[in-house]
Chains A and B, each alone.
Chain A
C-alpha cells in the first residue's frame, strides 16, 4: 500500500467532487493541510451522514480503487459512525460522527478550503481531539493549540 501523498489527495478531491460527496478533511491530516507540520499515517474524512452521501461515497471509493465488498458498502450507506479502510491504494478513515462536533453542517459552515481541499476549521480539529481524549491526542494538543494561536496572530 502506498503512502498518502499530494497526488492521492488530489484524486480523493476530484473523485469525491465528481460524485458529489460531502466531506471535510479532519484530524491531523486536516491540520497538515492547514499548514501544521507533523506526521500521520492516514487521511481522516468527516463525511456527511445521509443516504445520498453514502451512495456517492461508495461510488467514489470504488473509482479510487478501494475494494468495497457488499458488507462494507452496506455500512457506508448506513453511515456507521466510523469506518476504517485499509483495502485500497491508501489508508482512509471515514468518520460520520466525530467526537466534539455536533453536526456536519456546523463544521461545513466553519470550514476552510486549501487548494480546493475542504478542511475542518482548526477549532473543530482541536475540539474533536479534545473530545476523543486519547493519549496520543493529549500529547499533541499543546502544539496544535499553539499552531492555532500562530494562525491567529500571523
Chain B
C-alpha cells in the first residue's frame, strides 16, 4: 500500500504508544523526534555532505554489469576504512 504524506515525516502509527527498549534506543528515538520536528528541506540540508573519497571519487562515472561485480570492485579497489567491503 502506498502512503502519501504531504509534508514532514512519514508516519506509520499504531494505536499503542510504546517506548524504546534500551538507553541507546531512547537516545536514537530522541534524535528521531527532533528530526520529525524539522521540515524536509532542513532535514536534507543537514543530511547531505561532501567529502573526498579516494578512488571512489576519482572517476566521472562507472557502471557495473552486476551488483556482485560492483561489490568485488569495491573489495578489490577501495581502502578498507571506507567500509564498502563485505563482511
Spell out A's residues near B (CB within 8 Å).
1, 3-6, 9, 29, 32-41, 43, 67, 72, 75-76, 80-87, 91, 95, 97-99, 109-115, 119, 122, 132-136, 138-139, 143, 146-147, 149-154
Given known A-B contacts A3-B50, A153-B16, A135 and B59 have beta carbons under 8 A apart? no
CB distance from A54 to the nearest CB of B (A): 12
Say what secondary structure dominates the interface of chain A.
mixed
Binary contact readout B62-78 vs A (1 if CB under 8 angstroms, 0 otherwise) = 11111101110010000
B1-35 contacts to A, CB under 8 A, are 1-14, 16-18, 20, 25, 28-29, 31-32, 34-35
Kindly list chain B residues whose C-beta atoms are within 8 Å of the C-beta of A38: 47
Contacts of B6 in A (CB 8 A): 115
B-side interface residues, number (CB < 8 Å): 59
> Does A81 contact B64, Cβ atoms closer than 8 Å?
yes
Smallest distance from the beta carbon of B78 to chain A beta carbons, Å? Answer: 10
Please determine whether A133 and B10 come into contact, CB atoms closer than 8 angstroms.
no
Interface residues of B in 43-71 (CB under 8 A from A): 43-51, 53, 57, 59-67, 69-71
Chain B residues within 8 Å of A110, by CB: 1
In angstroms, Cα B11 to Cα A35, docked, is: 9
List chain B residues, Cβ under 8 A from A109. Answer: 2
Bound Cα distance A135, B80 (Å): 9
Which of B1, B10, B46, B85 has the largest number of chain A CB atoms within 10 A?
A: B10
| A23, chain B: closest CB distance, angstroms | 15
Which B residues lie within 8 Å of A99 (CB)? Answer: 67
CA distance A3 to B32 in the complex (A): 23
How far apart sit A139 and B83, CA to CA, in the bound complex (Å)? 9
Q: Are A84 and B87 in contact (CB under 8 A)?
A: no
A-chain residues with CB within 8 Å of residue B64 when the two chains form the complex: 80-83
What's the Cα separation between A77 and B3 when bound, in Å? 30
* In the bound complex, CA of A150 to CA of B3 (Å): 17
From B8, B48, B65, contact of A5 by CB (8 A)? B48
A133–B84 CA distance with the chains assembled, in angstroms: 9
Instruction: Select B32's contact among A35, A40, A111, A113, beta carbons within 8 Å.
Output: A35
